[in-house]
Each structure stands twice: as structure tokens, then as C-alpha cells.
Structure 1
Amino acid sequence: MLALAGISNAGLARRVNDLGAQRGMTLRYDKTSVARWVTKGMVPQGAAPHLIATAIAGKLGRPVPLHEIGLADTDPAPEVGLAFPRDVGEAVRSATELYRLDLAGRRAGSGGIWQSLAGSFAVSAYATPASRWLITPADGSVARGLDGVDPRHAPAADEGSGPRRVGHSDVAKLRDASEEARRWDSKYGGGDWRASMVPECLRVDATPLLLGAYTDEVGRSLFGATAELTRLAGWMAFDTGQQEAAQRYYIQALRLARAAADVPLGGYVLASMSLQATYRGFADEGVDLAQAAIERNRGLATARTMSFFHLVEARAHARAQDEASCGTALAAAESWLERAREGDPDPAWLDFYAYDRLAADAAECYRDLRVPRQVRRFTEQALARPTEAFVRSHGLRLIVAAVAELESGNLDAACAQGTRAVEVAGRISSARTTEYVKDLLARLEPYGDEPMVAELRERARPLLVAPA
């Protein structure tokens, strides 16, 4: 890999030291260190393997998973990332242990560790995290490593990093990374390689900060920023079909949100869990998770945030074929959204949510309930304001519109919308969007002899055979 990237032993050592310095670490590797890694199979400790992968990736212009350079953990425990510890220090250990897994391998063709965990998603794994968060949604002091603070609250920092005091500027960099990744994810899908840098950011940037020294105030902010990034990593894994990875990220994100004492953010993580459970066929559990977010946030979250939580609840009710409860939840979502005002202190992570998103999800609710008239009504509203910032959402809305037209008996319109949706889907990397396309084509099977259906199927062929 070094030869392919055109990096000498000395060049790699220099780059790794520089990357470490950018992250507050003092590393003193040289060409002899690299020679030991290459010829004797020695594995450096701490964050060094991830820095090595980053250095090589920078030269190759693509992500480099640890297994590709022989530095991956070979037998991580299958329970990694599923714990929801009561102690803050153990919570840090649980999260950073997850971050160190070779997650990037899932996009390199081999599947990485997630290949061995495939099919291990279990909705029951959300029971303990949800109940512990409901009982105690905020931890006590999270200060660590400063005078007068018990250092046992977290494990020691990575070897070679030395003691490091974390400040607000460090946290700001994590938030900036989260904002950029959210934009890429919305525009290009969770499988886009720039969005896939989030796991690396958690491993290389967030981990040393979590293991550093900080006041309670800085610590709360640090845990909140890391929780946002972790939830986003889960969302991108969910979008690319890696359900087992998404579940572990979500659990750790919820635990970090509790350490941050950020109840709305915890609710947002629960809403993400709810959508995953619903999507995987566990609608009743999806209702429970969404309602947990709602109940704990009464009087705390903004009107727009409460609206979104009720909308997620509606999605679960619709999958459960409970039309009355779905209608009630949708009405609550609309009512809360009407109360939202310019200048409300809405969290940055909710900037995607407006009436067009409510309409889009309402359309999906009525698709699941098989009420095509309502699907068409809400889809028209959802598509009234297409935006380049949310390409994936626009594609999903087009597919839902196609299904509505088909169920209303309008084959021509269904194929027209389907053609537009396939064009959009071809511009992003999203397994979820591909699944929507497959569902539409399956619904069109009875009309397979129609030329327009055959043409749509042919247009979709490259999308269905390419990796999502």
C-alpha cells in the first residue's frame, strides 16, 4: 500500500506525526518505526493505526480501512457498542471501543467486522438503553482528569498522546465536521465516501478528546458534539443497509447525549431508533421509542422538535396499520409545527425539518395505510419545493408519488414519476433509496409487458446491480 501510494517509510512517519500533532498528540515515529510495522508485523498502539490509514488515504484519494493495511482488530467481541453503562467513565470506554472497530471495511467490499455481525440487529437491544435514559436522561458532573476530579471516571488517554486539556475550540471542530457531514449525507447519501469520513472523525478526532481532561461545562459540550456525530454515523449506516452498525452507533449516541444532559438530542436519537425499528418491521417497538422521546421532552424541546417526534410516531403507527393513532399523531405533528416561530432556539440538527418534510412522511404513512388519495395530496405538497440540498429526500418522495399514481390506476404517471426517481437515485449512494426503487418495480410487475414499464426497468438496471 505504501508503494501504491508513493510514500516512503520516512514520509509516512512524518505524516503520522503531523496528523497526531493536529489532534494534540506528541508522536515521535521515524522510518525505523515504519520498518518494524512493515517487515515485522508490529502494530502501533492507540490512535496510530487510524492515523496511518488516514495518511495513506490522503495520497490515494479514497478511504483506507484498517484491514487493508493489516492493522485491524481480528476478533472484536460481538457485544461491542451494545452496552449502556450507568457510569460516565464506562460510557466513554464503551463508545471509544466501538469507534476503534474497522467500520470502514463495509464500504471496501469485504464487509469489515460488520460482515461477521450481519443479521445481528435485534430490536430488543434497545430496551435497556431506552429505559435507563427515561429514568435518568442527564448525568451528574462529567468533569475528568482535572485537579480534584477522580481520574477513574474514564480510562487513560491513548499511549503517546500525553495529557491534554480539552477546550471549546476542540468541540467546535467536531461540530463543524458534523455540519459538513450532514450536508454531504443529505445531498449524496450515506454511502458517499466524504460522508463515510464520520467514523474516522470519531476514531481519530473525538476519541482523544473524550479521553482528555475537561471541566464539566466543556465536557457536556464535548459529549453533545460527539453524540451528534455518533448518531449521524448510525444514520448513514442505516441508509447504506448496515443495520447492525447503526444499532450500535445509536445506543452509544443515546448514552453520550445523557452525559451531555441534552434531553432533546436524546429524543432525536430515540426517534432515529424508532425509524430503524419501524423500517425493520418492528412497528410496535417503533411506537414505544417515539413516545419515549415525546414524553421526556414535554416542556423541554422546541415546538418544531416536538412536531418531528410526533411525525416519527405517526410513521410507526402507519406501519402497524393503526390508522386512527396515525391520524392523531399526524395532527399533533402539524399542530406543533404551526406553533413554531422564527427565532425559536431549535437545535442545528433539526434544520432539515419544515412542512415539506412533514408532508413527505405523511405521504409515506398513507402509502403504508393504502390510502392513495391522501398519498397524492401530501406528495404534491412535499414536491412543491425541491431543493438540491436534500437530493435523497427528493428521490424518495418521487418514488412514493409513483406508488400513489399506480394505486390510483395512473400507470403513465407512475412510470413518469418512477423515471424521475431513478434519475435522482443514480446520483446518490443510498441502499434505502435503492430498496424504494425495488419496491416500485415489484409493484409494477403485473404490468411488465407494457413498454413504459420495460423502459423504466431498463433505466433502473444499473442502479440495482451497482453497490448501494
Structure 2
Amino acid sequence: MALDDTRGGHEGLERAALSGAEDALSKTKLMATQRIRQRLFSVAADYTATAAWSALDARQGDRAAALLGKALYLAGMGQDPIVEMRVWNSYAMLAHQRGEHSEAVDSGLAAQTTAVTRRDPLFASLAHARTAIGHSNLGDRQAAIRSLGHAQDALGKAKEGEPRPSWMAFYGTAELTAMRAIVLDRIGKSAEAEAASHLALGSIPEQFRRNRALATARLALAQLHQRDVDQACATASSVFELMAGSPIPGRMRSLLGDYYRDLITLAPDAVVAREWGDRFRTEWSRA
């Protein structure tokens, strides 16, 4: 998970996770109690969900979908509601990548119904925030704002210091604020989205380099949507500095591609737009 936080999804991370899943599953064939077998299925499910997340972050959608299906099956075998919630959260993100926004909302709602969201408000908050993004992509402003409110309320009830899996370490006030920025920009509140992005970047921990880079790209989009082209290009360029030394994950490359398409639509003749386009193509070829 530390490797994912800094570099993002890639083949090495996926292979390592699948190796862990295979090791756990091989042990279920040994003489063991049902309780131990169930726990091994849970471990294998978590590893497989990590591999699926890596494929998702790399924008390898078909592979991510296959791995998510396997992870959900193993989570059922292990009776693990935490992995089930994790898988539905990833399904919502995969649906967004595919432009299937109704399915993204449905996946967010499925995440909300898992047993862990009733036990731990932090998981409920993430599920509501993911649903809010789905609603915003459908253009349902009221539902998006309502889901954000539920996410904030649940986060306020979450207890610090509770034992939680390492993959959940990214989520808290800073990440919810970053997700709020996405929703606000998509429902046409770009100035508020810019403010939320600044707030998020002021509190996302340094070790979450990939998340900081994504939030920075979102900040650039919010600035661009306000026609602040010079500042937006400067902000977008800083993403490359944040990810220096590592290939840019597919999900981030796609987001930067969205920025570039909006840039040439809004300011096709601006010198700074042409310069940023040259930088983008250079960095893309290196990634």
C-alpha cells in the first residue's frame, strides 16, 4: 500500500498482490479449521482487491473488472464485509472510467449497504462520497450535495485510532475535501471547487504523493473552468514535478488528458496553452 500511495498502480504492484493471494489460497488446501480457511479466503480477497485497484489505477478496465469479480467472490467465501465494501468502491470508480454513471451510483449504494458501513462511520463516509461523485456525473446536483452531506456527517461520527486496513489510511477529512472539489467542479461550482482543492492540498499527508498529484490536477481543472488559463497551466505543470522519478499512472494520465482537451477548447490560441501542450506530450512519451 505504501508503494501504491507514492507511485500508483502498475504491473509490479499487481503481480505482487496476486502472488500474495495465490499463497493464501494455496494454504486453504492444507489441513486447517474452517475458521482458519475463512480467514485465508479473506486475506486472498484483500490481496486480489489490491491487484484490482492497481489495474484500475492503471486504467486497465477489463483486467480490473475480472479481478474485482474474483475479489468479491473471495470476500463472500471469507465473509469479509470490509473487502466487499472495498470492491464496491472500486466498482464505482471503474464505472466512472467507463462513463457508466448510473452504474457508478448503484455501486456506491451497494457499498453503503455492506455491514462494515453500519459498524464504522468512516467506511460509510467514503461510500457516500463515492456516490456523490456518481450523482454529479449524472448532473443530479441535489443528490450530489445530499450525498456529500451524508459523507460529512458520517465522517464526524468516525472514531480516530480504530483498527482499520492499511488501504483505508488515505481517507479522512483531506480526501473527503478533495472528493468534494470533484463534485463541486462537475456541478458548475468551479470557484468553490478551487477553494476545496486548496484546502485538501493543505492537509493531504506527504506520503500520499499520488493523491496529492491527483488533487493538484483537479485544482488545475477548477482554475481552467474559471478561465484562469495561466494559473491553471502552472498548476497542471506542477503535477509532473510531484510525480518526478515515477511513471504517471494511467488514471492520472487520463485526468491530464481531460485537462488538455478542456484547455484547447477554452483557449486554443493562447501561447501558454501551446507551451503546456508541448510539455504534456513530452511527459506523456516518457511515462
1:296 counterpart (88, 105, 114)? 114
1:228 and 2:46 aligned: yes
Paired residues for 1:54-203 under 5 Å: 182-191=1-10, 193-194=12-13, 196-203=15-22
Question: What is the SS of the residue equivalent to 2:12?
Answer: coil
- CA RMSD, aligned part only? 1.9
CA contact (8 A) 2:20 2:44 kept: no
Match of residue 154 from structure 1? none
1:307 is aligned to 2:125: yes
Q: Distance in 1 between matches of 2:21 and 2:248?
A: 21
Matched, 1:441 2:257: no
Q: Percent identity between the aligned chains?
A: 25
Structure 2 match to 1:166: none
Given candidates 209, 213, 219, the residue that maps to 1:395 is: 213
Which range moves more in the overlay, 404-413 or 340-349? 340-349
Distance verdict in 2 for CA 1:224–1:431, change over 3 Å: same
**CA distance in structure 2 between the partners assigned to 1:318 and 1:341 by the alignment:** 28
Alignment counterpart, residue 214 of structure 1, candidates 32, 37, 52: 32
Matched residues in 2 for 1:437 and 1:343: separation? 35
Residue 276 of structure 2 is matched in structure 1 by 456
How far apart, in 2, do the equivalents of 1:429 and 1:215 lie?
A: 44
429 and 418 in structure 1: CA distance in 2 versus 1, 3 angstrom threshold = closer
Give, as a single letter, the amino acid of the residue that structure 1 aligns with 2:261: A
**Residues 425 and 433 of structure 1 are in contact (CA less than 8 Å); yes or no, is this contact kept in structure 2?**
no
Note the alpha carbon deviations across 1:323-349, whole angstroms, 9 max, x for none.
Answer: 111111100000000111223343443
2:225 aligned partner: 407
1:271–1:465 CA distance, 2 compared to 1 (3 A): same
Q: CA separation in 2, counterparts of 1:199 and 1:306?
A: 28
Q: CA 1:298/1:305 → structure 2, altered by over 3 Å: closer, same or farther? A: closer
Alignment check: 8 A CA contact 1:187 1:428 kept: no
After superposition, what is the alpha-carbon deviation per residue over 1:131-172, rounded to whole angstroms, capped at 9, x for unaligned? xxxxxxxxxxxxxxxxxxxxxxxxxxxxxxxxxxxxxxxxxx
Query: Normalising by structure 1, what TM-score?
Result: 0.58
Give the letter aligned to residue 341 of structure 1: K
Q: What residue is the counterpart of 1:286 in the other structure?
A: 104
Give the match's secondary structure for 1:351.
helix
CA distance in 2, matches of 1:231, 1:345: 19
C-alpha separation between the residues in 2 aligned to 1:299 and 1:353?
Answer: 14
Residues 185-208 of structure 1: CA deviation (Å, up to 9, x unaligned): 1211112635542233334x2342
* Matched-pair contact (CA < 8 Å) for 1:323–1:369: yes
Mean CA deviation greater in 308-317 or 209-218: 209-218
Structure having the larger proportion of residues in helix: 2
Amino acid at match of 2:68: Y
Candidates 154, 170, 173, aligned match of 1:352: 170
Q: Give 3-state SS (helix, strand or coil) of 1:193's partner.
A: helix
Structure 1 CA distance for aligned equivalents of residues 113 and 204 of structure 2 = 33
Whether 2:235 is the aligned partner of 1:417: answer yes
Paired with 1:410 and 1:254, the residues of 2 have a C-alpha distance of 44
How much has 1:365 moved relative to structure 2?
1.4
Matches within 5 A, 1:218-367: 218-297=36-115, 300-367=118-185
Q: Which runs of 5+ in 1 are unaligned?
A: 1-181
In 2, Cα distance between equivalents of 1:437 and 1:230: 28
State the alpha-carbon separation in 1 of the partners of residues 165 and 259 from structure 2: 35
Query: 1:235, 1:299 → 2: CA distance?
Result: 20
C-alpha distance 192-458 of structure 1, shift in aligned 2 (>3 A): farther
Which letter maps to 1:391?
R
Task: Quote how far apart the aligned CAs of 1:414 are.
Answer: 0.5
Shift in Å at residue 308 of structure 1? 0.7
Report which of the two structures shows the higher radius of gyration computed on alpha carbons: 1
Q: Which amino acid aligns with 1:442?
A: R
Q: Deviations over 1:412-436 (max 9, x none)?
A: 2101101101323453440110111
> Are the equivalent residues in 2 in contact too, given 1:271–1:289 (CA < 8 A)?
yes
CA deviation map 1:280-300 (0-9, x unaligned) = 111111111211221233774
Does the 8 Å CA contact 1:268/1:309 hold for their aligned counterparts? no
Q: Which letter does structure 1 place at the counterpart of 2:39?
A: S
Letter in 2 for 1:291: L
CA-CA distance at 1:351 after TM superposition: 1.3
Greater shift, 409-418 or 338-347, is seen at: 338-347
Look up the SS of the partner of 2:160 in the other structure: coil
Over 3 Å counting, the alpha-carbon distance change for 1:299 and 1:309 in structure 2 is: closer
- Kept in 2, the 8 Å contact 1:314–1:327? The answer is yes
Higher mean alpha-carbon deviation, 392-401 vs 208-217, is at 208-217
Displacement over 4 Å in runs of 4+? none
* Structure 2 unaligned residues grouped into runs of 5+: none
The structural deviation recorded for 1:244 is 0.7
